[in-house]
Amino acid sequence: MSGDLRGFADDLRRLRVKAGITSQRLLAPRAFLSHTTVWAAERGEELPSLDVTLAIVKACGGDQEEWDRRWRLVYAAGRERAASPWPAQDVADGSDPVDAGCDSDAVTVQVARISLAAKRQIIGRIELRYSPGSHAAWGRFEGERGLDWLAAHRHRVDLTVGVGREADDRRLGFETEYGADSHWGDILITGDGAFFAWTAVRFDGDEVAYRETERVVLD
């Protein structure tokens, strides 16, 4: 297997084909991912998250331990080649998880699917992300293909992606316009009580969906 980003993506595609899954659209529901997320992982322009990579590998019957090791090598090489255009941030309430370096060991500990309030249509999912090394938690939103279409043809779609800490009843929310990609909020430091992720979705300024994950105690 190749060690560069393009080779990483090509090998993910080969793994899917070897497993007899003939298209990205067939793989997406098996991996519990959106089609756009699978497409981006195989495109090879950006390294998919470790969670996305392992979800694809599991759905294709691959060796998750091997792909975990492989992902970390490609990730480390990428950090050496290109520093962030923004200054690094301390690990503190309100910091960006990427700029604070919390994403390197992040795992998804809770997931909740989100549907439109007015109809039974799944438009995405909200994830509670957790970095055990940094002791930080944050929310991440992943949209479904139907939301991509609505954003492109029908509505301006805006999100608030947030995280809550029950010990002091603190909630942080990051507002952004939706694009067919992952969107994440800022971090809260863990180690005191239960945490949850939440998101609100707006079409043309009106809230059409809201969802929270289940609460979970994080060290």
Can you give the CATH number for the domain in which 175 is found?
A: 2.60.40.10
- Asked if 65 and 108 sit in the same domain, the reply is no
Residues of the domain holding 64: 5-81
- CB neighbourhood size of 199 (10 A): 26
Cα–Cα dist 188/170, whole Å: 9
pLDDT on residue 94: 96
Instruction: Confirm whether 97 is domain-assigned.
Output: no
Tokens of 11: 């090998």
- Asked if 53 and 116 sit in the same domain, the reply is no
- Asked if 133 and 175 sit in the same domain, the reply is yes
- Of residues 45, 59, 219, 212, the one with CA closest to residue 141: 212
- CB neighbourhood size of 105 (10 A): 13
Instruction: Confirm whether 91 is domain-assigned.
Output: no
- Asked if 129 and 206 sit in the same domain, the reply is yes
pLDDT on residue 126: 97
Whole-prediction pTM value? Answer: 0.65
Domain count, the chain: 2
Q: In a structure prediction context, what are the per-residue pLDDT tens digits for the chain, which is 219 residues long?
A: 445 788 899 999 999 999 999 999 899 999 988 888 899 899 888 889 889 999 999 999 999 999 998 888 888 776 555 455 666 789 999 999 988 888 878 899 999 999 997 788 999 999 999 999 999 999 999 998 889 889 889 999 999 999 999 999 999 999 999 987 789 999 999 998 999 999 999 999 999 999 999 999 999
First to last CA, the chain: 36
Instruction: Confirm whether 165 is domain-assigned.
Output: yes
pLDDT on residue 119: 81
Length of the chain: 219
Tokens of 177: 């316009």
CB 40 within 8 A of CB 15: no
Instruction: Confirm whether 95 is domain-assigned.
Output: no
